[in-house]
Amino acid sequence: LEEPESLQWFFGREERLIRDRRDLQQRLSNWTEEVCYPQAPLLKNELINWDHPSASANTGRKRLLAAMLNAADQDGLGIEKTPAEKSLYLSLFKASGLHRQVEDRWGFYPPAAAVLCRIGPVWRAITQMLGGSGERQVELSEIYERLRHPPYGVKLGVLPVLMTAYLLAHRREVALYQE
């Protein structure tokens, strides 16, 4: 693999020309996204898009979750300056439109039809698992497990934030219980 350009590469039954190692890495990344995780959300944030985020990312995530619960009615969740949680807010909620103003009221809402971050498939999967009329209880771990695997591939670092946004957007229809 030190010189991938010297080898023959096939995708399916079609031969592909590989120029160098970087080209190979890019093609493998694209292949993984297109074939394995075609419904993965496109979240452009290296802080949280991991199964095990760093300590600073975890701190930012905790602060973001607190702002979600305490300041959902404020533009930008009331986050000042540019700490890690502001970066997370911008890439997860501002870019996706999950936190937006509707009829002069800020809050969490289901994704719009044409969202660039491709949150819709994950959102629909959660709704499907919970059922339309609340006919069954679903453990959070079951939702996490489904969303971590193909076709979604959501990382563990992101899941608590997405689930909290979902629960806030559906706070009149969904209840959370602890046993």
The pTM score is: 0.82
Structure tokens, 85: 């949680």
CB 109 within 8 A of CB 121: no
156 to 25, 30, 96, 136, 160: CA distances (angstroms): 23, 21, 19, 24, 8
What is the per-residue pLDDT for 103? 93
Cβ–Cβ < 8 Å for 148, 154: yes
The parts of the chain modelled with pLDDT lower than 70 are 32-33, 113-115, 132-135
pLDDT at 121: 93
Question: pLDDT tens, 16-53?
Answer: 889 998 888 888 877 766 777 888 888 888 888 899 99
